[in-house]
Structure 1
């Protein structure tokens, strides 16, 4: 067996955390002979064939912390879907947890891990393979786009918050065979993942163009025919591209005077968790 390369949630592995009701369970999953960790949240009385949402943390964070900050579990309780929070491996250069969205950091197969874990949970908990989605912030957003391009038969829609497509994923985007609905939330003043596509190409992060161009690609790929322009708040602009193939939609939100952070009611007026689910529930 390969050496375990991260320590994220080992201290709670296999235990139930009774910080809320119902309990949250930390578990492990073996992929390519490597033990990987994840946290699963399953509301009480969840019906069979319920949706499943994968949540990917940002660079340097741990799954349990991202679960607490996003607060998607509360939305899951109301709308009856399961949520799982997998843990990334450690960047060999910095020692920080991350996702390999076809970067130059390592050869970890995160596409394979996340795809196989989703299928495992679908079977184990009788969850809906047609309504299995992925969302992520920052590096998790990068990884969400990579899954859209490389595993569209498993992940039926994605949401990226302050992320974009890695250079490799953008350059190989045409290899995908299925249109995937996309939600993107970007801060106009983001200096870490600039909306204008000027992120450094070092280690394979940058290389995608302006986010407007990225979203136009997904709008065209999904064959969306109409657009609703929304001015939700004085600083939040929303664009809903609709009436696409299979009724697919592409949503694009820009937040003025906002940087590289998870949008919330407090810091931007936008409830990210609610918006993500509002988008995913459009999938038929």
Structure 2
């Protein structure tokens, strides 16, 4: 089946800490359509980072990446790791975003888990960054394209669109995309799977789609910077309230060291961030 062709095998998120469940409870939080893991900072009504796992992985594995999770918590953010849907006859979980697939409505599911966390734990559901790695990053892109007002910002890592690329997206977004120069699982140019039946999209073509959605006046970036290992470029002459930035790092298919602080610095620098 198509789902067997998913490229992003493994999350690449190792850690030392015990598995986080439903805040202080050991088991994950559960709603009608799925489960999620969450950890809370020492703050009331905190903003939230929702991080989606890669193909075949789990929310529990996301929470084991203490280098990322602890930095987000230290900055005052709650951290949620929902679980993708189980795949019949396959091991592990993934996300239902590929055009034409049937399955769980992931936008409805992710909206529901955030609403549940707001009711249970008091997280601020008006300040939510949706992020994810690999297949989770693809999910972030498709949700942001189809329903850009669902969350306040989007920060995919190592994931974009599949070919054929979307013709257009619904509207302006606040998007921070991070990718590895030597990523050979989701190369910048994309790659073929299943004998060419399925083709990952080109990351730079995806950025062009986002520039169009954000009504940017020019394809050319108007801002360049460097943060540690990250080479960054951004487009600011775009629709009011939108944001678009791309960070390239020299490594491969991974969530790179330093990503959490860089992403939050970007988010907090946005109006209302």
TM bin, normalised by shorter chain, reads: 0.7 to 0.9
Q: 145, 151, 158: which one pairs with 2:147?
A: 151
1:74 corresponds to 2:70: yes
User: Is the CA contact (8 Å cut-off) linking 2:176 and 2:246 kept in structure 1?
Assistant: yes
> Taking structure 1 as reference, are residues 203 and 236 closer, same or farther at Cα in structure 2, changes over 3 Å only?
same
1:189 corresponds to 2:182: yes
Structure 2 partner of 1:242: 236
> Taking structure 1 as reference, are residues 71 and 150 closer, same or farther at Cα in structure 2, changes over 3 Å only?
farther
Structure 1 partner of 2:264: 277
1:64 corresponds to 2:60: yes
Greater relative CO, 1 or 2 (CA 8 Å, sep 6+) = 2
> Taking structure 1 as reference, are residues 79 and 244 closer, same or farther at Cα in structure 2, changes over 3 Å only?
farther
Gaps of 5+ in 2: 1-17
Q: 25, 29, 32: which one pairs with 1:30?
A: 32
Structure 2 partner of 1:120: 116
> Taking structure 1 as reference, are residues 166 and 156 closer, same or farther at Cα in structure 2, changes over 3 Å only?
farther
> CA deviation digits over 1:177-202, x for unaligned, max 9?
x3111111112222211101334377
CA shift for structure 1 position 161: 0.8
Q: 44, 47, 53: which one pairs with 1:47?
A: 44
1:252 corresponds to 2:246: yes
User: Is the CA contact (8 Å cut-off) linking 1:132 and 1:154 kept in structure 2?
Assistant: no
> Taking structure 1 as reference, are residues 127 and 108 closer, same or farther at Cα in structure 2, changes over 3 Å only?
same
Structure 2 partner of 1:161: 157
Q: 119, 128, 133: which one pairs with 2:129?
A: 133
> CA deviation digits over 1:196-230, x for unaligned, max 9?
1334377986353x212211321342244662112
User: Is the CA contact (8 Å cut-off) linking 1:129 and 1:154 kept in structure 2?
Assistant: no
Computed over aligned residues only, the root mean square deviation of the Cα atoms, in angstroms, reads: 2.9
Structure 2 partner of 1:268: none
CA shift for structure 1 position 93: 5.5
Give the Cα separation in 2 of the matches to 1:24 and 1:204.
44
User: Is the CA contact (8 Å cut-off) linking 1:147 and 1:155 kept in structure 2?
Assistant: no
1:96 corresponds to 2:92: yes
Structure 2 partner of 1:87: 83
